[in-house]
Amino acid sequence: MNLTQLVQDRIKVLGVKEAASFFGVSVGTVSNWATGKTPPSITAAELVLPEAVETQGELTMWQGKKLFIGMPVYRSFNADTHYTLFANYAKYGPDKIGLQVRKGTCVWEARNILIDKWLKTDAPTCIMCDDDMILPCGNADYLNANHNAKLPVEIAGLNAISRIMSHPHSAGIVGALYFGRHRNGRAQCSAGFESDEENAKYHRHEYEGLQPQRWVGTGFIRIERWVIEKFKAHLDAGNWPELKSVNDQRWDGYFTPIKVGVGEDVSFGTRCGKLGIQSYVDATLECLHCGDNSWGSQNTNYNFL
């Protein structure tokens, strides 16, 4: 790794004046570094090295992968999530997949950072999987016996990654069907919250395949690159300035809540809807939502009103 080149690359991005402030040195010193007249200091190299290691060590190893999986781990890494994801990898093909984990921050910020990391790869598709999801992994007996899911074999036996990747790229936002982590948990999509009747239909699996929504839960969600590119172009044009990164070294706020009390899933879907991007829930792909139980359609009560 060429440390001098790393410093010079950062100077090109920031410009000489801003780089001088960033490195804490004079403009003249930065100019000398940029032209190669004098080598950068060890302190300057230390400032740019962590990000360079992260980019080269964690991201370029995923170049050429078809799928980027981002995991916003904001509680702990659930063993059941790990097990079912591992089984999905094996069936879908680990050579197609790159994985990134973001820990130690609020979930919407973790999602923003993961999107930024994804955009630095060439993967056309991103799946986000939360650390409290239990995924169908091609073995109906496992899901029904180990987690008492009580799902039809054709649903419990799906492979979650293969299923969500089977939809056309024109469906830019596709989320799995799952339910709130409590006895009265609703379907985590706009229809499940806006209509008791629709919520009941999702519990009874009266729908199949892609169903359009104003927003969809982000627990297990597929996003196509063109969605974020359209969103970013909107931000770069000066719209929604509150979501724009303050500098080139930070991420944009795709999942930042619209206001207090509005989730990042609702906020992301609502904004995408304003850009003409449709969200969908795959009513056939049901994941379980892990809390004090493995919550799903068959142990959440839709007749609670």
Dihedrals phi, psi of 248, to nearest 5 degrees: -70, -5
Predicted confidence (pLDDT) at residue 190 exceeds the cutoff of 90: yes
Those residues whose C-beta lies under 8 Å from the C-beta of residue 7, and which sit 6 or more positions away, are: 23, 33, 40, 44, 45, 48
Distances (CA, A) of 231 to 145, 164, 240, 253: 42, 22, 10, 10
Predicted confidence (pLDDT) at residue 304 exceeds the cutoff of 60: no
Model confidence at 56, pLDDT cuts 50, 70, 90, reads: very low
pLDDT tens sequence across 26-46: 999 999 999 989 988 877 776
Distance (Å, whole) CA 217 – CA 282:
11
Model confidence at 16, pLDDT cuts 50, 70, 90, reads: confident
Amino acid in the structure at residue 101: V
Through-space distance between the first and last CA atoms of the chain, rounded to whole angstroms? 62
- Start-end of CATH 3.90.550.40 domains in the chain: 63-295
Distance (Å, whole) CA 122 – CA 160:
22
Contact 33, 44 (CB under 8 A): yes
| Residue 208 confidence (pLDDT) | 95
pLDDT tens sequence across 237-265: 999 999 998 776 678 999 999 998 899 99
Amino acid in the structure at residue 154: E
Predicted confidence (pLDDT) at residue 75 exceeds the cutoff of 70: no
The secondary element (H helix, E strand) that includes residue 90 is: helix 79-92
Higher pLDDT, 50 or 59: 50
| Residue 104 confidence (pLDDT) | 62
Dihedrals phi, psi of 144, to nearest 5 degrees: -75, -40
Predicted confidence (pLDDT) at residue 175 exceeds the cutoff of 70: yes
Read off the tokens for 300.
Answer: 């959440």
Percentage of residues in the chain having pLDDT higher than 90: 60
Contact 4, 39 (CB under 8 A): yes
pLDDT tens sequence across 101-130: 777 668 889 999 999 989 988 899 999 999
pLDDT tens sequence across 133-165: 999 999 999 999 999 999 999 999 999 999 999
| Residue 248 confidence (pLDDT) | 64
Higher pLDDT, 216 or 108: 216
Distance (Å, whole) CA 215 – CA 173:
9
Contact 200, 249 (CB under 8 A): no
| Residue 274 confidence (pLDDT) | 97
CATH of 63-295, one of 1.10.10.10, 3.40.50.300, 3.40.50.150, 3.90.550.40: 3.90.550.40
| Residue 10 confidence (pLDDT) | 82
Distance (Å, whole) CA 113 – CA 96:
22
Distance (Å, whole) CA 56 – CA 138:
34
Read off the tokens for 188.
Answer: 């985590």
Predicted confidence (pLDDT) at residue 1 exceeds the cutoff of 70: no
Dihedrals phi, psi of 290, to nearest 5 degrees: -85, 130
Q: Tokens 């979650």: give the residue.
A: 160
The model scores a pTM over 0.75 = yes
